[in-house]
């Protein structure tokens, strides 16, 4: 166990797009954005090896990071803007005006770089100080409420490395759009000002609200929250309940994934004859079952009336240029369909639990071909009800298709990335592998005893193949 570390804030800056590069702009929310209004903030860490002292880093690296971020924000101005909550019945929107900026914090930590970038279990509390808080909302002259959408913290771990911690509001962008921003920042930093990534598209092109979802979601948002309440708009999640969690990275190599898929196809050929058995389905099913079986309480539920308690697996599907949408890949915003999968507890922890999970997740993916917006009017209400009533919930909070380990600031290869909100409300993360093409990294955060159980059960499943 690593020793407790101290963190000291060295400076706070306001980084804005270059003067005059972005005109005042109001950007409407689409129906894809509205379901994310009540979401917890997203938190991502990037670790880089950099064996230099603090004063060297501040003199040589910080100016470059700040300048390149400024140049990047002229292309990705919504993140320098604010989410505006006007009085009802006016509609929330993103507004950029001259002077808007991103809070950029520089800090120094005594934490152990090797420990922080390890795959083994470590306290969730070790990672949290490396990610900033979102700045507080403020009142505008017209009575509206302005909510910042992103904050960035660079933490120096002297003579070892540094981290870039980002917190952002999902209503502004989904994972693909967020990593478009980060990779663009990295390319401008690496090349000295040249944007190698495609220009983001902010216009709501290709998003036709044929189902009237904007009005439905807006009415549900008004009903589910006290719209006028500053407490609601400023509400921050209580993270104390996760203080005893440990965070670990489970790695699956390409050969392991291949063998696992072959074993499943051979062992359960008849049961899975019509099932979509992609890498995503196989890994998600395995993680779902292992998470449930790792809970000591599962043992007490077997054989009694509580076995019919519902367990949910929730993931999202990118709709860019898919499922009937003509939305370009470089579209900046949210473009995700919600997918809710449910099974009874006894179906998942039984002998064929893994197979049942695969059939359920695979069927949900196949349903997307008939329309990604089928049942979309219930997305917000379903999410609320599930979090309140379900026995067990797993939410996939990131994708291996983001290619996160290709994020190159010109300061060395990315050593490790962490999704810090993993564990909160049942979130897990998936990422590409830093070690080999085709590998997968799974991020988990659990109570220590459950993490130990999970590792044992997970290894047992891998040994079956």
Catalytic residues: 170, 408
Distance between CA 212 and CA 75 in Å, rounded?
30
Nearest to 49 by CA among 160, 164, 182, 183: 160
Q: Alpha-carbon torsion 328, 212, 172, 132, what sign?
A: negative
Going from the C-alpha of 178 to that of each of 12, 187, 195, 211, the distances in angstroms are 22, 14, 16, 27
Distance between CA 364 and CA 221 in Å, rounded?
26
Distance between CA 136 and CA 120 in Å, rounded?
34
Nearest to 322 by CA among 365, 284, 359: 365
Distance between CA 395 and CA 425 in Å, rounded?
8
Q: Are 360 and 276 in contact (CB under 8 A)?
A: no
Q: Which residues of 163-174 are buried (b: 16+ CB within 10 A; e: fewer)?
A: bbbbbbbbbbbb
DSSP letter, residue 437: T
Compute how many other C-beta atoms are within 10 angstroms of the C-beta atom of residue 276: 17
By the 10 Å C-beta count (0-12 exposed, 13-18 middle, 19+ buried), 100 is classed as buried
- Phi/psi for 410 (5° steps) reads 80, 15
Give the tokens for residue 349.
């922890």
**Rg for the chain, CA atoms, rounded:** 22
By the 10 Å C-beta count (0-12 exposed, 13-18 middle, 19+ buried), 142 is classed as exposed
Half-sphere exposure of 16 (CA within 13 A, CB side): 15
- Sheet bearing 161-168, strands edge to edge: 7-15, 102-109, 150-157, 161-168, 42-49, 414-419
Going from the C-alpha of 9 to that of each of 54, 69, 420, the distances in angstroms are 12, 20, 20
């Amino acid at each position: 166990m690593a020793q407790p570390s101290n963190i000291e804030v060295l400076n706070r800056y306001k980084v804005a797009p270059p003067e005059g590069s972005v005109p005042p702009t109001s950007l409407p929310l689409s129906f894809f954005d509205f379901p994310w209004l009540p979401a917890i903030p997203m938190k991502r860490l990037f670790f880089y090896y950099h064996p230099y002292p603090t004063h060297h880093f501040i003199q040589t690296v910080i100016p470059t990071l700040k300048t390149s971020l400024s140049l990047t924000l002229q292309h990705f101005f919504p993140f320098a803007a604010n989410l505006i909550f006007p009085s009802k019945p006016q509609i929330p929107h993103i507004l950029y005006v001259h002077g808007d900026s991103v809070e950029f914090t520089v800090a120094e930590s005594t934490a152990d770089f090797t420990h922080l970038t390890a795959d083994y279990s470590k306290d969730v509390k070790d990672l949290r100080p490396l990610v900033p808080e979102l700045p507080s909302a403020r009142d505008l002259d017209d009575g509206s409420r302005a909510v910042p959408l992103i904050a960035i913290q660079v933490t120096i771990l002297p003579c070892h490395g540094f981290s870039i911690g980002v917190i952002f509001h999902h209503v502004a962008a989904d994972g693909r759009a967020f990593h478009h921003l980060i990779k663009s920042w990295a390319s401008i930093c690496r090349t000295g000002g040249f944007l190698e990534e495609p220009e983001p598209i902010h216009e709501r092109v290709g998003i036709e609200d044929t189902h009237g979802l904007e009005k439905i979601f807006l009415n549900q948002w008004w009903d589910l929250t006290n719209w006028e309440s500053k407490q609601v708009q400023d509400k921050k999640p209580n993270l104390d309940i996760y203080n005893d969690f440990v965070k670990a990275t489970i790695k699956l190599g390409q050969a392991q994934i291949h063998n696992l898929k072959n074993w499943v196809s051979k062992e359960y050929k008849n049961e899975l004859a019509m099932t979509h058995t992609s890498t995503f389905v196989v890994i998600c099913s395995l993680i779902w079952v292992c998470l449930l079986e790792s809970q000591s309480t599962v043992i007490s539920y077997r054989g009694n009336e509580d076995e019919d308690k519902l367990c949910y697996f929730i993931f999202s599907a990118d709709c860019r240029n898919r499922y009937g949408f003509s939305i370009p890949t470089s579209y900046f915003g949210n473009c995700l369909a919600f997918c809710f999968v449910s099974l009874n507890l006894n179906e998942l922890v039984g002998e064929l639990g893994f197979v049942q999970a695969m059939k359920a997740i695979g069927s949900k993916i196949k349903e997307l071909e008939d329309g990604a917006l089928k049942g979309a009017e219930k997305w917000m209400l379903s999410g609320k009800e599930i979090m309140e009533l379900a026995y067990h919930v797993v939410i996939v909070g990131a994708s291996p298709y983001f290619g996160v380990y290709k994020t190159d600031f010109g300061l060395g290869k990315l050593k490790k990335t962490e999704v810090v909100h993993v564990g909160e409300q049942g979130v897990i993360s998936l990422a590409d592998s830093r070690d080999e093409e085709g590998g997968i990294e799974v991020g988990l955060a659990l109570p220590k005893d459950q993490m130990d159980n999970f590792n044992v059960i997970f290894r047992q499943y891998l040994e079956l193949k």
